Structure 1
Amino acid sequence: MDSHIYGVSKKTLFLFTLLCLSVSSISALPHQNKAGNSTGTGQMINSNSVLVALLDSHYTELAELVEKALLLQTLEEAVGKHNITIFAPRNEALERQLDPEFKRFLLEPGNLKSLQTLLLFHIIPQRVGSNDWPGHKSNPSRHTTLCNDHQHLITQNSGKKLVGSAELTRPDDVIRPDGVIHGIERLLIPQSVQEDFNRRRNLRSISAVLPEGAPEVDPRTHRLKKPEPPVRAGSPPVLPIYDAMSPGPSLAPAPAPGPGGPHHHFDGESQVKDFIQTLLLYGGYNEMADILVNLTSLATEMGRLVSEGYVLTVLAPNDEAMAKLTTDQLSEPGAPEQIIYYHIIPEYQTEESMYNAVRRFGKIGYDTLRLPHKVVAQEADGSVKFGSGDGSAYLFDPDIYTDGRISVQGIDGVLFPEVEKESTSVKKSVSPVKVATTNPRRGKLMEVACRMLGTLGQDSRFTTCQ
């Protein structure tokens, strides 16, 4: 028969103590993070993407509609999965040849689905170059668009290539690793959008596209005006600058001229010499010019690249930033060249084009001449910020030199790749660390249990209470 202490049996007391020990051991376990270790970092889009090229191209009306339709996220996901082909109508087709009432219908907030369907009808989730068109003796090829509709590619006997009912006017106008953009003469309207528009007006016989009007007569010659031929990319503008200016801020600057090829149509040495003299006259970038000319042979190499048709964007750190470089960072063989290579982007970018890109996509990764490292740009404080953390730099002096082949942008810091930052931080953290040992702290329930056992004179039986 169990003995009792003040009306409580030893077995009951033992069970109560065991329960207290189990609760304290469970509470001492580290808490697990229910949220997991995954972070919701957004995807970074490459600066050489076809989406960035669309926003930076002369198809400004189409790019503006894509932005209003909130399709950038959808197109980013499509580009991440496969190549795409965009059939881009020229600006005149969206400005003058479109019924104003139909355009108002598309831009109304309640008709966002129709606008998205219309734009996705111009995009095929695969790469289709101009050489992939069927011959005039072959049957039309059928391709599924991003809106789950179909486009037919046709080649007529005369050699004209058609996309549905629109003629292909600028084949392979923009080519990027993840897609291609073809210029077409008119807007393609799917049947579902046409029916939505007709249902809205309660008329089924109204066409969304204005019919072709009577031929225009030139008042000077009293002859019929001939349609102007399409202007190729890189050619001088047809209209004077005052007629070509838009009433508001433009979406992005005009693209740079195309490469000149191996025939050396460009005088790269003179252009590099001109931009280095501009750096010296601008003031505050003497160290950068000294490294290009005296400390390395990068000026000669850049001139050769420009002569062969390449375009370059130089992120030039100012003298205050260059003065922070230590002797160890410059004394290693090839260190100055590697530093400058990381500040040269093999694209023609201006302050406006870079800011528009980071404003729309958040983060942009620009390729550099120091492969495979990229410079990450993002929007910060109304400007463009390169890098991250303490090694970041802001766009300090925009468009110091821009001639269509070389663009120089002044920044207020020297950039280094992320790998070098991690290696330097590991070296700094190698110092010996003293490990402080602390006595394990007993839980509150254990302390209460030991006190109760102490009052009963039974605390000496348990080692945890000693």
Structure 2
Amino acid sequence: MASTRRSFTILVVLQVLIQIAAAALSVKPTNATTTQTQINSNSVLVALLDSRYTELAELVEKALLLQKLEEAVANHNITIFAPRNEALERELDPEFKRFLLEPRNLRSLQTLLLHHIVPSRLGRSEWPDESTRHNTLSPDPIHLSNFDSVKLAGNAEVVRVDDVFRPDGIIHGISRLLIPNSVQQDFNNRRSLRAISAVKPEGAPEVDPRTNRLKKPAPAVPAGSSPVLPIYYAMAPGPSLAPAPAPGPGGPRHHFDGESQVKDFIQTLLHYGGYNEMADILVNLTNLATEMGKLVSEGYVLTVLAPNDEAMAKLTADQLAEPGAPERIMYYHIVPEYQTEESMYNAVRRFGKIRYDTLHVPHKVVAQEADGSVKFGDDEETAYLFDPDIYTDGRISVQGIDGVLFPASEKMDSKNLESTTTVDRVEVEPKSRRGKLLEVACQNSTFSQPKTLHLPIKKGMCIKDM
């Protein structure tokens, strides 16, 4: 019984000793590995850092690959194909080099450098006679070949065979950098317009021909506000329309739809009645309807003082015969502001006289309060606002008046011309407004503008493109 108990105790002790020995053996490989990963001064990695391939060594440090290469050297011999410094300094594409050194492209740089390292020893004696494929530390393999005693690694010539010879590796000097297909594809994707943000080039400062000063960018303004440039610079004929600084409501692209708004207000004049002559001039005798549509589309606002047919009938043929006369007359009746009957009446009641700018630069039209209404003009030729707010849409306002307005300077010129004329006049029966328009349009072809709005205003007229 005692011998049995003694043998059992010996068996337990033996099992404990076996477990302790197994634990000790399991620790030894780790210590051995730690000892093997320690790089001595005769390593090929130390030789690379102290060799003539300093540019490649700097790239290896920037790519954080020293630890990975130490592990590779500890496990097996390696072969490094090192590009000469000139290939990395002057012969490499600057854009591609900039791509490699960007922090976000660290993985591409690591793949490119590992592509130059083969995890086996390939010296002069082991160099293949035919083209052979060898794995590298990167996913892309490398092809080694020998043609007419010229050794090639990929598409680079080996200019220094066995340049650095160490027990754990060999360094061959090559003429150029080896670029794997994966890195080249990453570079192409990054360079494409879909992956990068283009930088708008800044040219020389421009001089504004109107002011002879340097052009300055327009300040930021809220959406729907008026353009920065005055409306006179946007009028045709001119260099170009001044763009609105911010989009507004309406239109297919959420901009102001000036053409439709002008067409609506002209159709409103026709349906309202008594303003057919005004619509006739805007559409048929001039291109003002198209021009007004462009101005409104670019963000400008307009107030039209529309003379009725009775007032237009008082115009003589001489007043319309001069080239450009219909345009000048209409320009003087267009105010580059948005005014309603209420706003104008409140202004003249408070301030007495108001001078409004017109598109007939530099002439202004005078407005004042009279008989509970607004009277335009300050001479014997005046016009009262008697059809208020015929059309108001927030961009165009049409106010009906009972007279045709002329600037004071033009009225003085016409009076001086009448006083200096000595030719006897022949009294003729005044023609109707329709006859005068037909006569002027047929004699002066400059008023024959293309009909763009196609409104049914007159029939049988001799104007072109009707």
User: TM-score category by the smaller chain?
Assistant: 0.3 to 0.5
State the TM-score, normalizing by the size of structure 2.
0.37
State the TM-score, normalizing by the size of structure 1.
0.37
